[in-house]
Structure 1
Amino acid sequence: MPYTYIVQCADGTLYTGWTVDLEKRLAAHNEGLGAKYTSSRVPVSLVYWESQENQSTAQKREARIKKMSRCKKLDLIREFVNS
């Protein structure tokens, strides 16, 4: 099942991506292999995720989240944590 996710990097920045295996992807990020952006900002922690119907939906949601302001992303994370 595909997921759209947000991780918080060690420097406090947020990274949004998609994957079919959250656990494996998080491990890759923390090993410096997940993405160029996160490789120098480890460790990262998973702060938000949502399951999607398919890869296309996951990628479209990723693109929408990436266009959000940091403030909106933090609101999304807060809603997720409090649900």
Structure 2
Amino acid sequence: MRCTGGAFYSGSTNGDVEFRVAEHNAGLGANFTRRHRPVTLVYCEEWPTVAQAYEREKQVQGWGRAKKLALIEGRGSELPGLARGRQRKDVG
């Protein structure tokens, strides 16, 4: 989810995604989203098990902003090059 100020929040639910977003906007979500409302759903994935969804949530939470933006914008081919510590630094 994109929060007020442009920050991203990654979470998971085993229920209705739109209902969960509404809960976050009502102040019933994580502490982070309570302080950064309103939130908007910008990306969603479905996983066959709760364990897989939680593993993916933790993976995305560890990503930097540029990599999260590439995922949201559908630029999957750029994800490997955006790994932390592997980003190209301009020389000059």
TM bucket by the smaller chain? 0.7 to 0.9
What's the counterpart of residue 14 of structure 1?
8
The size of the alignment, in residue pairs, is 74
Taking structure 1 as the reference length, what is the TM-score of the superposition?
0.85
Taking structure 2 as the reference length, what is the TM-score of the superposition?
0.77
What's the counterpart of residue 3 of structure 1?
none
SS of residue in 1 equivalent to 2:43: strand
Greater RCO, 1 or 2 (C-alpha within 8 Å, sep 6+): 1
**Structure 2 CA distance, aligned partners of 1:9 and 1:17?**
13
What 5-or-longer segments of structure 2 have no aligned partner? 76-92
Structure 1 or 2: more strand by fraction? 1
Percent of aligned positions that are identical: 42
For the aligned residue pairs, the C-alpha RMSD in angstroms reads: 1.1
What 5-or-longer segments of structure 1 have no aligned partner? 1-6
What's the counterpart of residue 73 of structure 2?
78
**Structure 2 CA distance, aligned partners of 1:12 and 1:23?**
20
Which segments of structure 1 move beyond 2 Å, counting only runs of 4 or more? none
Query: Is the radius of gyration larger for structure 1 or structure 2?
Result: 2
1:48 counterpart letter in structure 2:
Y
